[in-house]
Every structure is written in C-alpha cells, then in structure tokens.
Chain A
Amino acid sequence: MAVVELKGVSKHYGPVEAVKGVDLTIADREFVVIVGPSGCGKSTLLRVIAGLEEATAGDLAIDGRRVNDVSPDKRGLAMVFQSYALYPHMTVAGNMGFALRLARVPRAERADRVLAAARILRLDHLLDRKPKELSGGQRQRVAIGRSIVRDPKAFLFDEPLSNLDAGLRVQMRLELVQLHRRLSATTIYVTHDQVEAMTMADRIVVMNGGVVEQAGTPLEIYANPRNLFVAGFIGSPKMNLVAATVSTVAEREVGVMLPGGGTLGLAVKANGLAPGASATVGLRPELLSLASDGPLGGEVTVLEHLGDETLVYVDIGGGTLLTIKAPADDPVRIGDRVKVAITDRAKVRLFSADGTAVAVDGRR
C-alpha cells in the first residue's frame, strides 16, 4: 500500500488561505481521520492530496515519489465523495467498472473484479440497478465499491457518512472500520464529526483555520489536548473549560483558584506561570462527581437522562455551565444546590492564558 507525505502544503484561493503549511506523514495501512469544524481546510487538504486541487506551495509524496504534478488517476488514490457522485445513467456494475473500462481492462476481467468488490460490500444482487433505485446506504456502498475495484494505494473519504441518517451512520462506521481491517489499505478520512474521528481513527489530525492543531491517537488527543481548541472540539459531551487564576507556583505543583473560591493543586510544570496569571482548567465530565464537598459548586439547571447515566448541568456562576456525568440513579433534582468533587486530579488539564496546554509534570 502506500505512505503519504505532506511537507509544508498550502492552498490559497486568491487572498484566502484555506490550508497553511501542513506537515503530515500518513503511514502505510494507517487509518487517519482529519477532523475539524466546517471551513477549517480539511476538505481542501484532501482534494489537494487527491489531485483535484493543485497545492499552492509545498510537496506531496506518495511512497517517496513527488506527485504534485501527477494527474489524479495516476496517483493511485481512490476517493469517496460526500454526495457519492455516482454516475446516474450507469448501472451499479457500470459505476464500479468505469475506471477499469477507461483503463481498457478486458471485459471478462472487469466483470470478475467488479463482482469480487460487490461481494465484499454485499452488492452482488444489485449490479444491474441504477443509482436512483438504491437506498442511501446502498449508494454509499457502491461509491466505496467503485474505489475498491481500482485497488488503490490509498482511500480518501470526504465526509462519506454525512448524508445518512443516524442509525445507518453508526452501522456504516462499523462497516468501514471492518473494511479497512480487511483491505489493510492506507485511509485518509475527512469528517466534522469528532465521534467518527474517535471511533474510527488509528490517528486523528485536528485542523482549525487551515493549520493542524494536533495529531495523535484518539486516546492521546482525548487525554492530552495540546490547546483549548482541541480540548473543546474532541470529546462528547465537551470538556468543561473553567476560567481560573494561578494562586501558587511551586516547583512541581501549580495551585489555581476556581470560580466560587475553591482551590485546586495540579501536578504540572510551572514554567512561565506566575501567581495572578489567568488560566483555564480543563475538566472532562467523567472526572467530576456530585459530592458533599468539593472545590466547585452551584445550582443544578438541567438534567439529561441518557439511561445508563445522567448528565447534570451545574451553573457555577460567571456564565459557566459545568457538565457532570452522574450515575443514572443519582437522586439529584433541578434547582438543587450541589458541590462538585474532582475524582482524578491527575487527569485535570491546565491551559495558560494564550490557550496552550501546560505540560504535565513527568511527561512532555
């Protein structure tokens, strides 16, 4: 399969910089998910990799060979589009075999390869249908089948699940992961949905404003977001970001004062932090619990019962609503005044005033 390398890749549309100097290496057989809000440049980056857009600057290499000037089909990549982009006047077999037909593959071999791909995707009974006679999920599979048939070096997916309803999306997510395992092909997958990123990726690349904010395994990014943007973007429900003030600075511990006057000591490197500086404390909802005592407190304003657990929203003042994961049988009610305890202080993250994470002591 293939290694895809990007070095300083930029894409400008006139004065608009959609992608700004992205460096990224995607390993052979890796499933990389590029995730970010709409307009962050993720789709543009994918289109540059595909060859549908030309990079304004930087180098793009596949298996060590520079491909900036190579046409899309010669790059050996296959792409699945958000709208599926099936050829409406061709049958499923015609759609899947189109690339082979253009490459003048003999008819018999073409039919074999189309059938083999159709079997993988359970489309073999639909080969004579036209796209308009298929359901959304089936069309999606035809689009994937069209790329499998070409036996590409890497698969590119541009928000392939956004047009499906919620149930089907979860199912297709699973199928895509299984397919990746089966084909063990390098895969670059673009989405705005961080749940897709977390569940499918070997490695997540978080983009914002045309730059890569952070790249890492889902758990790495979840546990150690590099800055406030990544912290707020990855995770559902979102990480609580609480404004705080640095109160004490010791060699191996920084103390912060939270809204409402509670204090918290965190084992982070103190470099650059001084007492009085403002900072942000990042608290995942599962780190918090309702308790008789704790550094935070306020009034319960909303309860969301998910069945297996309950999300408790506590107004701690200053316009900050804290999300807490509580057991489903917790007797808390709206209007209760509660205290919030932190169950695992080692997992609390601190961000300095410029939004970057303060390194945890003992690691980088």
Chain B
Amino acid sequence: MSSGQTGMIVRTGLGWLVATLMAFPVFWMALAAFKTELDAIHSPPLLFFRPTLENFGEMQERVDYLAHATNSIAVAFGSTIIAILVAAPAAYSMAFFPTRRTRGVLLWMLSTKFMPAVGVLVPIYLVLIWAGMLDTRTGLLIITLLSNLPLVVWMLYSYFKEVPAEILEAARMDGARPLQQLGFLLLPLAAPGVASTALLAVILSWNESFWCINVTAVHAGTLALVIASFSNPEGFFWAKLSAASLASVAPIMIFGWLTQRQLVRGLTFGAVK
C-alpha cells in the first residue's frame, strides 16, 4: 500500500469520525423523541426500544404546533424577502459607486453584530411596548430583519463585486436605470449568490431564539419558543423536549437538505467562476 493511499484512508477515517461526533447529538435527539420518558432516561442508554408517538401528541396538547410553525415561516421568509429587497440596492451602490467611506460603512454595519443581543434587550423591549408590538409577528419580523441585514448586505456586496463593472456601464449606455440594472442584470447574474444569501438568512431567522423568547409569548412565538417552553423549571422531560425540538428543526432541516446544492454552489460562486 502506498503512502498516498494510507493518507487517504486516515483522512477519510478522520472525516467520518468528526462527522459522526457532530451528527450524534441530533441523531440521539431524534431517537429520544420516539422514546417514553422512562426509556429516555434509562441507564445504560437504550439504542433499541419500542418507538412511540405519545410525546408528539402531548406536545400538541400543550402548544399549537401549527400556529407556531406559521409564525416561524412568516418571520423567516418575510424578514428574508424584505432583507434582500433592502440590501440589494445598498450592495449595488457600494459595489459599483464606492466612495471613500464605503469601507467604513460596511464595517460599521458589521460592528452592530459585535455586541451581544442582550446588551440592547431593555431598550428594544421598551420600544416594542411603546410601539404596541410586543408579542406581534411584525415586531419579531422587524427585529429579525434588522439583525440579519448586515450579513445580507455583506454577502450581496461581495457577490455583486464579481460582476464586471463594464456590463453595468453597457447597461447604462443602453438606458437602464439603477433598479433596472438590478432587476435585469445584477440579480440574474449573481443568482446563485443571492439564493444562498437568502437561504442562509432563512435558516438564521428560523433558528433565532433570543429575541423570540424575550419579546414574544402565545401570539407571535415561533418554533424556537416551543422548544424553550419544554425546558421548564419543574424538571426535564427529555422525551418531550426532544420531540418538540425535532418537530421544530425538522422543517428547516428538510428545507436545507433540498436546497443544499444551491447553497454550496452559491457559497463557492466566486471561487469556481
């Protein structure tokens, strides 16, 4: 056996090991969701058991899964669509008409992510009360939108920069206004990048839990709130918590699975061009 082959086997083995370690908690959570509470805390842990759906039934009794799922979908997709619509013109102007301060503006936008969210919890909470938007989908959507916007602008900016400036100049000669340049040229030409930006924003919004837990309750709570509501002070109910978690992350995992080709293509867009 050559040293190249040995190295290959070692690397493959390491790859599997790391992947297994990372996937195991999710796998174990999925198993626990179908166990009884007793099986779930059984020592030694059980790999084989009698599966049951009772946890999901009890979850549905306690919370309205569909209502929360609707909130999740509305907030994740709504905030993403608006973020793209707002970020695209910003990224266009920064990528193609940079000034001396463009770099600074980009860094400043990113700097809003430097502070932990809890640092602005009180002011934002007060603003929401004042605006009457506590526990509303609109309120949560606006917060999610604003917290994802810097990332979306940055990503679109870097994808737009890949488009040769002469193409847009040709379009200007042809009479294309800025919004037409965006719609007819930039968005189609950077489509893989725009799509992966959108996918990433959807996933981040879906899993966002800090704001959801703090500013929503029964009306606007997303699926993240469902998970949180099962880790309560009365004691842990592992099986029910796992069931709630599985039910909450399953839609976005399936979504990610279906779109992974697009996601990978977009994230490596510049590299393969």
Contacts and interface: CB of A to CB of B under 8 A. Distances in A.
B180 A79 contact: no
A50 B170 CA distance: 10
Given A89-B188, A89-B189, A146 B174 contact: yes
A83 B166 contact: yes
A81 interface: yes
A117 B96 CA distance: 31
A52 B96 CA distance: 12
B167 interface: yes
A45 interface: no
B203 interface: no
Nearest to B170: A85
B185 A87 contact: yes
A102 B167 contact: no
A167 interface: no
A166 to B, nearest CB: 23
Contacts of B171: 87, 98
B175 A52 contact: no
Interface of A is mostly: loop
What is the interface residue range for chain A against chain B?
20 to 34
A87 B167 contact: yes
Contact of B175 (A50, A85, A102): A102
A72 B167 contact: no
Given A83-B166, A85-B170, A73 B185 contact: no
A77 interface: yes
A102 B176 contact: yes
A79 B171 CA distance: 10
Nearest to B169: A52
B189 A72 contact: no
Interface in A72-108: 72-74, 77-79, 81-83, 85-89, 98-99, 102-103
Contact of A50 (B164, B173, B176): B173
Interface of B is mostly: helix
B166 A99 contact: no
A79 B175 contact: no
A307 B170 CA distance: 43
Interface string A34-56: 00000000000000001110000
A285 to B, nearest CB: 38
B172 interface: yes
Interface string B164-199: 101101111111100010001100110000000000
A150 interface: yes
Contacts, number: 56
A85 B169 CA distance: 8
A91 to B, nearest CB: 13
A51 B173 CA distance: 8
A83 B164 CA distance: 9
Contacts of A85: 164, 166-167, 169-170
A82 B166 CA distance: 9
Contacts of A50: 173
B176 A79 contact: no
Contacts of B173: 50, 52, 72-73, 77-79, 99
Contacts of A51: 172
B189 A99 contact: no
Contacts of A102: 174-176, 180
A95 B60 CA distance: 56
A284 B184 CA distance: 53
B175 A99 contact: yes
A81 B169 contact: yes
A117 to B, nearest CB: 14
Contact of A81 (B170, B184, B189): B170
Interface in B43-63: none
A194 to B, nearest CB: 24
Interface in B111-166: 164, 166
16 contacts: A50-B173, A51-B172, A72-B172, A72-B173, A73-B174, A77-B173, A81-B169, A83-B164, A85-B167, A85-B169, A87-B170, A88-B167, A98-B184, A99-B173, A99-B174, A103-B175
Given A83-B164, A87-B170, A102-B175, 17 more contacts: A52-B169, A52-B173, A73-B173, A78-B173, A79-B169, A81-B166, A81-B170, A83-B166, A85-B164, A85-B166, A85-B169, A85-B170, A86-B167, A88-B189, A99-B173, A99-B174, A103-B175
Interface of A: 50-52, 71-74, 77-79, 81-83, 85-89, 98-99, 102-103, 146, 150
Q: Which 5 A-B pairs have the closest CB atoms?
A: A73-B175, A99-B174, A85-B166, A85-B170, A102-B175
